[in-house]
Structure 1
Amino acid sequence: EAARAGEHGKGFAVVAEEVGNLAEMSGNAAEEISSMLDASISKVEQIAIDTKNAVEGLIQQGKSRVDSGVHVAEQCAVVLKEIVQNVSAVSSLSQEISQASKEQALGVQEINKAMTQLEEVTQKNNSVSNSTSASAGQLSAQARAMKEAVNDLQNLLYAEKTSSHSSRSAGGSSKTSSHSSFKRAA
């Protein structure tokens, strides 16, 4: 076309050449863009796969941690239940100990009361024993006196018998002396 047009066609040839160059550059650019798009798509797909794998891994880790947390929470619940039971048992034992201490205090009071009564009885027994001992001493003294009186009486009777035998022969003077010695012994 440019050759046919002559001088006027030179400009057309330059434009046509430039358009061809542009078309070639556009084709090259399109190929580069296509290649870049393919690379970008490949990278995006790889990123998507990596992200999906990472998210699945995180989900699995999260699930594992949640399961572990649930297990720990269940163990804590069991331990807390045991603690509550133990606290209840300790409270019950404390009440029993308190009650036993009160009963023991009452027992000690009763023992003290009994000891006081025992001491009073012991003192009374001691007093009675001393009184009995004094009475026994008096009775012993009276018994000795009675024994001496009986001995004196026996001696007197013996002396009277022997003197009555001799008074029959001496005339009765021994009766008077035996009566006076009996009065002395009584």
Structure 2
Amino acid sequence: MGPVIGEDGVARCPWAGGPGVMRDYHDTEWGERVHGEAAYLERLTLEAFQSGLSWSTILNKRPAFREVFGGFDADVIAAFDAADVERLMQEPRIVRNRLKIEAAITNARATVALRAAEGLEAFVLSFAPADPPAWHDTDEMTTTSAESIALSKALKKRGFAFVGPTTMYALMEAIGVFDPHLVGCFRRG
């Protein structure tokens, strides 16, 4: 399926055709480059929490995630201990999955460690595809790429968790490592 025309007459990627949180996200954030360690850690964390769930669930819970994870300040999260994990497991406003909560802490610590090298933002951007995709139809789209597989492996070597190739591909789309919008979508380019 190619871009769809919404009731407002605007062509968008099919998953964002109707009004609501998903369309708002598509129109204002998805595929836009973000900057700074906290922005990268937030997206990495939220993509991991989304695994197995709908993205709209995560978007609706994002304000609470930002609050309980200290604005995604890597130093704050890296200092979390077992009591913090238990506190988060009791927090009804977020996804309460112990493995994902522990992965968020692990990833914050790995992010702090990565500062000694190039830092999280530069590290992720170094895996940008040389030849970005330009899909016309959702049937052409993929959920992994050579770059997302390489990024996943490299992050795991640096101590990150819950960073599989599909999750990293979604991250690369979300943060504008390449333009993920279909050709014909008003946001393309």
Normalised TM-score (structure 1): 0.12
Q: What TM-score comes out, normalization by structure 2 length?
A: 0.12
Larger fraction in helix? 1
